[in-house]
Amino acid sequence: MKREELTSLINAASGRAEADLVIRGARIINVFSGRIHLGDIAMKDGLIAGVGEPGEYEGKEEVDADGLYAAPGFIDSHIHIESSYVSPEEFGRMLVPHGATTVLADPHEIVNVCGQRGLEYMIDAAKGTKLSIRFMMPSCVPATPFEHAGAVLEAEDMEAPLQREELLGLGEFMDFPGIVNSIPRALAKVALAHRVGKPIDGHASGLAGKALNAYAAAGIVADHEADSLEEVKDRLERGLYVMLREGSACHDLRRNIQAVTPANSRRFLLCSDDRQPETMLTLGHLDNHLKLCVEEGVDPVTAIQMATLNAAECFGMKDRGAIAPGRRADIVLLEDLEDFRVSKVWIRGELCAEGGVYLPPVTKHSIQSVQGSVNIGDFCRARLAMNLKSNRVNTIRILPGGVVTARGTAEVKVDKTGDFVWDPAKDVVKISVIERHHGTGHVANAFLEGYGIKHGAVAVSVAHDSHNIIAVGVDNREIEAAVKAIQVQEGGIALVKDGQVIECMPMPIAGLMSDQSGEWVRDRLEAIQDKAYNELGISRDVEPIMTLTFMSLPVIPEVKLTDMGLFDVEAFRFLPLEAE
């Protein structure tokens, strides 16, 4: 802060000069002391100048809070904007009315597709929203060596970007085996983050014991992948912050919040990981997380600490997270501390949302640099054929309520060439992953159990984390038609029946995001879901698109499919299609 700016702030704080804005008569939530008191908040040049008794400050503009609760702006400690299927500008428009003023976004989806060109697009696009989007440098591009991504980033590629102000830290380190086993390329990235003084986010599903000690010893600060209360306890006791995740795909908050006590509550954060438009438009964002916390018996002020100060402290954001002098004037007015209905939102002292409406204009950045991301080379139907030597096969078995799968076995029909023949009496279908970044021709086929599809095929260019095309269908003709539809529309989602596209959603931004509004995306997804259930017969116990996008994620147990083959996450090896 320059001396002139500091002088202006101090003069307003001391009362020698008028504040730019004073919020009067608010019940101010102090996340340091846990106290709620009636008072005024004075703001100057986008910062909080002072918090005082009623009538203590005067401002050029004054707003009567009329006894509403004033909380610090909410901070989502871990989210992937790309998983919302909308651009950063549109993402901000949707989140700010729910009290979000800062998100920690890991753009590893788009960087896995477009490399640093994708990172630059996200940084530039983020300038078009008032939401403060603090980016984490993707640490695992690709996420594992067991799939082909659109880019490869080593430590030397990250050095210059990670030192930029726009990059808050190193994103979720999914390659925990690389750390635990002291693999040089993994440790080089960790050492780089330490050298430039940036925090390292974690991702260590199932890690325990000495392996977790090794992971924590590397300087990992937080983890959102605690799958049980025991895993929550393990992480807390090793000094990691635990993120309570509540997204569109994963719903961990109600379970994991049972571990919160008055003694450990300051070590918990709130995060979404993913948040689709339908979820945002119906349930909201961290306002919904807070509601769930209180429903589970957590004190409201404690819950607000998790959504504000805890996240700011964990990631070293000393300029925000509290209503206190010198902090950013990111303030949310709440009608209550049960449903957390948001009345108004200020970001850096500017009123940005009122009554559920985002107020600033939305200016969108050009998407030209990240278009044309689908390159499937000479893909054709023949690449979907199998050459099975047995009709007893390994399967990816969908488990309800999340993205974890199980390894299953099934007996299937095969034709005289050894290719799979769908049997309507069995809930086993072909699943395929097609490399889409470099036109290599890599195609891997396997079996999916529990998806329920009875007609046609579904293809998506969102397939965590390398984002090749993933498709499921009852036969090769239908799968081929769906994949080629994705090629024509430059990415997105396509549903096919009898060889014809019956519903689709183009996603021209790296094959990951639409360039349309959140409401448009919601409506398209609703139409897709309707056709998936009613035309293709997909099981109503399965979210047809979100579930499919995680069937290729080789860092989440137990079995997944990449463009290189069927992969056993726990054994860390590829599996044959035929079962023993």
| Per-position DSSP letters for 485-530, written without gaps between them | HHHHTTSEEEEEETTEEEEEEE-TBTTTB-SS-HHHHHHHHHHHHH
pLDDT above 90: residue 324: yes
| pLDDT category of residue 248 using cuts at 50, 70 and 90 | confident
pLDDT above 80: residue 100: yes
Same-domain pairing of 280 and 395:
no
| pLDDT category of residue 305 using cuts at 50, 70 and 90 | very high
Residue 290 included in any domain: yes
Mean pLDDT, residues 403-421 taken together: 95
Same-domain pairing of 300 and 412:
no
> Residue 137 pairs with which residues in a beta bridge?
170
What's the total number of domains in the chain?
Answer: 2
Same-domain pairing of 266 and 411:
no
Residue 190 included in any domain: yes
DSSP secondary structure code for residue 157 in this structure: H
Q: How far apart are CA 266 and CA 307, in angstroms?
A: 10
Q: Which residues contact 226 (CB under 8 A, 6 or more apart)?
A: 232, 234, 235, 242, 252, 256
β-pairing, 457-460 with 492-497?
Answer: antiparallel
Phi, psi of 242 (to 5 degrees): -110, 125
Instruction: Report the pLDDT value the prediction gives residue 206, as an integer from 0 to 100.
Output: 87
Same-domain pairing of 277 and 386:
no
Instruction: Report the pLDDT value the prediction gives residue 205, as an integer from 0 to 100.
Output: 84
pLDDT above 80: residue 568: yes
Indicate the residue among 288, 305, 321 that finishes a domain.
321
Instruction: Report the pLDDT value the prediction gives residue 239, as an integer from 0 to 100.
Output: 97
Q: How far apart are CA 556 and CA 87, in angstroms?
A: 26
> Residue 173 pairs with which residues in a beta bridge?
202
| pLDDT category of residue 580 using cuts at 50, 70 and 90 | confident
pLDDT above 80: residue 401: no
Residue 353 included in any domain: no
Residue 19 included in any domain: no
Same-domain pairing of 244 and 134:
yes
| pLDDT category of residue 429 using cuts at 50, 70 and 90 | very high
Q: How far apart are CA 119 and CA 130, in angstroms?
A: 19
Which structural domain range is residue 105 located in?
73-321
Same-domain pairing of 228 and 103:
yes
pLDDT, mean over the chain: 96
Q: Which residues contact 534 (CB under 8 A, 6 or more apart)?
A: none
520-536 pLDDT per residue, tens: 999 999 999 999 999 99
pLDDT above 90: residue 572: no
β-pairing, 392-398 with 443-449?
Answer: parallel
Residue 343 included in any domain: no
Same-domain pairing of 379 and 312:
no
Q: Are 45 and 71 a contacting pair, CB within 8 Å?
A: no
480-527 pLDDT per residue, tens: 999 999 999 999 999 999 999 999 999 999 999 999 999 999 999 999
| pLDDT category of residue 250 using cuts at 50, 70 and 90 | confident
Among the residue ranges 136-145, 475-484, 560-569, the one predicted with the least confidence is: 136-145
Same-domain pairing of 78 and 183:
yes
170-206 pLDDT per residue, tens: 999 988 989 999 999 999 999 999 999 999 999 998 8
The CATH number of whichever domain residue 291 belongs to comes to 3.20.20.140
Per DSSP (E only), the strands in 264-341 are 268-271, 331-334
H-type alpha helices, 169-265? 176-180, 184-196, 209-217, 229-237, 253-256
Q: How far apart are CA 371 and CA 367, in angstroms?
A: 6
Output the CA–CA distances (angstroms, integers) from residue 4 to 10, 231, 328, in the order listed: 10, 50, 17
Q: Are 313 and 303 a contacting pair, CB within 8 Å?
A: no
Instruction: Report the pLDDT value the prediction gives residue 360, as an integer from 0 to 100.
Output: 97
Same-domain pairing of 394 and 282:
no
In terms of C-beta density within 10 A (0-12 exposed, 13-18 middle, 19 or more buried), how is residue 116 classed? Answer: middle
Residue 351 included in any domain: no
Q: Are 515 and 125 a contacting pair, CB within 8 Å?
A: no
Indicate the residue among 303, 321, 339 that finishes a domain.
321
Residue 104 included in any domain: yes
Q: Are 476 and 384 a contacting pair, CB within 8 Å?
A: yes
251-260 pLDDT per residue, tens: 999 999 999 9
Indicate the residue among 276, 298, 321 that finishes a domain.
321
Same-domain pairing of 87 and 209:
yes
Same-domain pairing of 200 and 298:
yes
Residue 1 included in any domain: no
Same-domain pairing of 419 and 546:
yes
109-123 pLDDT per residue, tens: 999 999 999 999 999
